[in-house]
Structure 1
Amino acid sequence: MEDVAGWIAPTATMIAAMMTAVNLGARVTGWGFVVFTIGSIAWSVVGLSSGQTNLLATNGFLTLVNLIGVWRWLGKQRAYEDGGKSATEASRRSAYPTLFTATGIAGMPVVDAGGETVGKAVEALVTCESGNVSYVVVASSGLGGIGEELRAVNRAQIDFACDRLNLRHPRAWFESLPPLAEGDWPAAPAELTRSDAR
């Protein structure tokens, strides 16, 4: 039993870590916590059978934490995502304007005027008073976030579609925008602050 648990524990832990790290939505993350739970139970068996009380105590606690993760991601968060998806689908079949969830912006491809993908949306910044989007932060280049550049694109320069964001300009215009400093985003996109200064 200890030998089997000794193989299951690290395998489940590694698989679960990958499932939660990629952030592919509530269901994948939730199932990642299910696999984490299997791993922590297997580590507890290893700790119990080998007399390592510290390993047993740690993974007993982690099993509880993982079960909370299952409840959070396969329960509540999944219900939120399902609700947003149902509203989006219902709006496409109705006479009302088509909807998409605000959280759905993150990860959407950003396409230039020629139809070429220039990056992906990271975040949309919304003004408190009006609730309107001020600008969208777009990540370009980089593999897995390494070497990527972030740029703030004025809302007026983007058309929102249900599955992508369309720039009204070519790639060269996008690349002429100054990259943002990490962790230091502006109060307004650069083109607005330049025009305000004139």
Structure 2
Amino acid sequence: MILDDLPAWIAPAATMIAAIMTAANLGARVTGWSFVVFTLGSVCWSWVGIASGQTNLLASNGLLTIVNLVGIWRWLGRQRAYEDGGKSAADASRRSAHPTLFAGTQVDGMEVRDCEGNGVGQAVEALISCKDGLLSYIVVRSGGIGGMGEDLRAVPRAHVTFSCDHVTLRWDSTWFASLGTLQDGRWPVIPDVPAPAESDGS
């Protein structure tokens, strides 16, 4: 019967969809819902295990169901609350007389533009000084496809300004391109930054 075969179709489809949602890394809510879909998949795989007498399939997906429920609690519960808290503070700061805020976790994925408004890449990390708690530099990725062949560059705090949804370089894309690329796993304590040309920036 079709209904008897339905879990066998839902299980792989749900697993693939959930994997894509998780890999996309689109925020706590999307990741949380991916674990909901993962749970649907693991429950269906367990059903298939029962129906086919595959106890190993039932046991492994029974455990995965528990893991997925923990994922739901973490991403739709705790992480979602953190994300919403940071967003609410940032939104409130835009309407107040206080300095505008943005959540530190939002640095990852922020668009980076040059002084002329042209996009040059995305921020992937912010390095903070332990001594004074001040931002030392950000790491910007550019080029490549899906993380393959991309270049990473370190831009000191003095050379950027922050907005609520993007980072702006004080100089143009030529200056950015002149920055040395970082080696995997070997980021500097203090970035080596060339002096901007007099015609750069404003």
Equivalent positions of 1:38-117 (< 5 A) are 38-117=40-119
**Hey, what's the Cα distance between the residues in 1 that align with 2:164 and 2:191?**
23
Give 1:142 shift.
1.0
CA deviations 1:72-114 (Å, max 9, x no partner) are 0001111111100110111111110000001111100000011
**TM-score, scaled relative to structure 2:** 0.93
CA deviation digits over 1:133-181, x for unaligned, max 9? 1110000011111110000001100011111000011111001000000
Match of 1:14 among 8, 13, 16: 16
Distance in 1, matches of 2:95 and 2:116, equals 29
* Equivalent residue, structure 1, for 2:175: 173
Alignment correspondent of 2:198: none
- Kept in 2: contact 1:2–1:45 (CA 8 A): no
Shift of 1:188: 1.1
What is the number of equivalent residue pairs in this alignment? Answer: 192
**How big is each residue's C-alpha offset from its partner over 1:30-70, in whole Å with a ceiling of 9 and x where there is no partner?**
00000000000000000110010000000000000000000
Distance in 2 separating the partners of 1:113 and 1:138: 15
Q: CA deviation at 1:191?
A: 2.2
Tell me the percent identity: 63
Contact between 1:106 and 1:122, CA under 8 Å: does it hold in 2?
Answer: yes
Distance 1:182 1:2 in 2: 50
Q: What letter matches 1:141 in structure 2?
A: G
Contact 1:2/1:46 (8 A) holds in 2: no
Matches of 1:60 and 1:90, distance apart in 2: 44
Task: Give SS of 1:95's match.
Answer: coil
> Which of 179, 184, 187 matches 1:185?
187
CA contact (8 A) 1:27 1:78 kept: yes
**CA distance in structure 2 between the partners assigned to 1:108 and 1:85 by the alignment:** 14
Q: TM-score, normalised by structure 1?
A: 0.95
Give the C-alpha shift of residue 182 in structure 1.
Answer: 0.8
- Structure 2: distance between partners of 1:136 and 1:35: 35
Q: Which runs of 5+ in 2 are unaligned?
A: 195-202
Q: Distance in 2 between matches of 1:191 and 1:145?
A: 24
| C-alpha RMSD over aligned residues | 0.9
